[in-house]
Structure 1
């Protein structure tokens, strides 16, 4: 259903109408464009607290370049299913959704593009189902080494209980309620340029009366995110964090090397640390850096599109 403009919930730019696709025991809200280019699938995977709409600048450009662009709201987001069980958001379920999405469209494999938590899911998908991924493009979040201790346990030792990853796990429901009560304020304060976001930053941002820095998007674009999270709440997305240690165990016996061609796009001002050993775990990686913060594809859409298309064209 590509090509029609979205006008509801403040979605004023041209964005595909969604369809609902049954996958892996849930339903995903999926936006797609370029179906006429069947056989060249590119799946775009959003992060937290995002939405398929975060790829609004990439969808038409990739479709115009001859790709079948598939953009799901992953489980817990938008109008996709939101299971109540916390363990329903582990990497086995999240990657299973994407595998089932390929099955729905009849694809053996696809190029997967992820940002933030979407990148984490794409890394995990590639480890668990390497035959379904022909290439990887990830933004912001590099490959996360498994290490000797579960991730939340390690973060708690190094960064303390106030670090928001740890807080989400050790105090379930607290952050969810705060974000739900201050949805518009939280997202307005979060989607800014050049603002450090460390420690308890997300919770601090939800409480802050005034934003810092420059907005990443227009008021009408922000309204899309606000409307989506006012309807869905934040618990589904936060449950992804609550499975980090479970994911550590699930990946115990998996070959840790990413063997697919990979493009890693960093933002020079992003507070997420780069991986000094990325090439050891992703030997086929090429790295691009853009002058921006965390919201790479929304802050620098033209440069992001150019980097992705150039890399995809070289692979062809």
Structure 2
């Protein structure tokens, strides 16, 4: 384990779930009330929820943040298909079994958001509520999402690029410090960076305004030319940066990239899933300045969710739980207190 990470997180615990060893961090009184499970995105770790774990501990809320499959201290299977929705949601069910909990509220950011919105569709009896942070509940695409992105944005669009075996894995791992610094910048830094010229909006939104032939998101070129000595808008302090860098230097990025390599498989296998979420409390927390998952991507969620509240975090870019932790903590704990009182 990274020494920097160990200094900033609760003691790590391990559970044998769904055929893997899952590392997780737990606070609050186990068995008291409905647990809150935090699910991270890419390229992140359970460490991304450090501020929320502290707040939950102070409030006496039972909360858990796992390193998800492929990340951190959790197992990293070799097979790409081991990272599909069945496995990723199944891991969370296995974690509930390990914790002795019938249900949980699942809170997810970025890729973690995609997973938690799948929980009531795939495992409704184990889901007490859902909190989406930045990531909305999306409609199933009318066609294979990789084919859709390739057609609209070309081979250099980062999700399309991620489909190539080993290519992105090696590029991101070549200088982990640079990669983490490049990703984790505040909204004001991203607004003036070269990648600000790339297409905006959620690339998975079938109603999006990205037209065929529009300029591509040449992510690898942007990463290569970015000067990591540029400290404007850096999100992480040195100890936080070290926790991410030391961990990804040990694990690489393949586990997380393999989540992206299952977009087509997930689409093919989701045809018969429900298209609505009813009789379940849901909260959507939007970030005002998130260019990839803007508040507008959540505009139509109310048509597909029967019990939905929406809250906007102003002045935040994509890394909302780390960029505006106090506001996210307030929103989440207030909602939990109303919808799941102790």
Q: TM-score, normalised by structure 1?
A: 0.93
Describe the shift of the 1:193–1:202 C-alpha distance in structure 2 as closer, same or farther (beyond 3 A).
Answer: farther
Question: Would the aligned equivalents of 2:69 and 2:88 in 1 still touch at CA under 8 Å?
Answer: yes
Counterparts in 2 of 1:100-111, with a 5 A limit?
Answer: 100-111=94-105
Question: Would the aligned equivalents of 2:171 and 2:220 in 1 still touch at CA under 8 Å?
Answer: no
Among 47, 54, 71, the alignment partner of 1:77 is 71
Question: Would the aligned equivalents of 1:37 and 1:66 in 2 still touch at CA under 8 Å?
Answer: no
Would you say 1:54 and 2:72 are equivalent positions?
no
Which deviates more, 259-268 or 271-280?
Answer: 271-280
Structure 2: how far apart are the matches of 1:187 and 1:14? 18
Pairwise CA distance, 1:145: 1.1
Among 302, 305, 309, the alignment partner of 2:326 is 302
Q: Which residue of 2 aligns with 1:178?
A: 171
Question: Would the aligned equivalents of 1:142 and 1:264 in 2 still touch at CA under 8 Å?
Answer: yes
Pairwise CA distance, 1:172: 2.0
Structure 1: how far apart are the matches of 2:32 and 2:222? 45
Would you say 1:158 and 2:152 are equivalent positions?
yes
Describe the shift of the 1:157–1:18 C-alpha distance in structure 2 as closer, same or farther (beyond 3 A).
Answer: same
Question: Would the aligned equivalents of 1:189 and 1:212 in 2 still touch at CA under 8 Å?
Answer: no
How many residue pairs match? The answer is: 309
Among 229, 233, 237, the alignment partner of 2:248 is 229
- SS of 1:214's equivalent? coil
Q: What is the CA RMSD across the aligned residues, in angstroms?
A: 1.7
Q: Which residue of 1 aligns with 2:281?
A: 261
- The one-character-per-residue Cα deviations of 1:187-233 (angstroms, maximum 9, x if unpaired) are 01211112055423366225522346411120110100001100110
Structure 2: how far apart are the matches of 1:156 and 1:66? 47
Pairwise CA distance, 1:151: 1.3
Q: Which residue of 2 aligns with 1:3?
A: none
Pairwise CA distance, 1:156: 1.5
Q: Which residue of 2 aligns with 1:68?
A: 62
Pairwise CA distance, 1:275: 2.9
- The one-character-per-residue Cα deviations of 1:33-89 (angstroms, maximum 9, x if unpaired) are 113553331101000000001001000211222221111000100011000000000
Describe the shift of the 1:255–1:66 C-alpha distance in structure 2 as closer, same or farther (beyond 3 A).
Answer: same
Among 132, 135, 138, the alignment partner of 2:132 is 138
- SS of 1:79's equivalent? coil
Structure 1: how far apart are the matches of 2:165 and 2:138? 24
Structure 2: how far apart are the matches of 1:20 and 1:276? 39
Please list every run of at least 4 consecutive aligned residues from structure 1 whose deviation after the TM superposition is greater than 6 angstroms.
Answer: none
Pairwise CA distance, 1:20: 1.4
Which deviates more, 21-30 or 193-202?
Answer: 193-202
Structure 1: how far apart are the matches of 2:218 and 2:88? 26
Question: Would the aligned equivalents of 2:23 and 2:67 in 1 still touch at CA under 8 Å?
Answer: yes
Among 189, 193, 204, the alignment partner of 2:222 is 204
Pairwise CA distance, 1:267: 0.8
Q: TM-score, normalised by structure 2?
A: 0.86
Query: Which stretches in structure 2 are left out of the alignment for 5+ residues?
Result: 199-216
Among 207, 227, 236, the alignment partner of 1:217 is 236
- SS of 2:259's equivalent? helix
Query: Which stretches in structure 1 are left out of the alignment for 5+ residues?
Result: 1-5
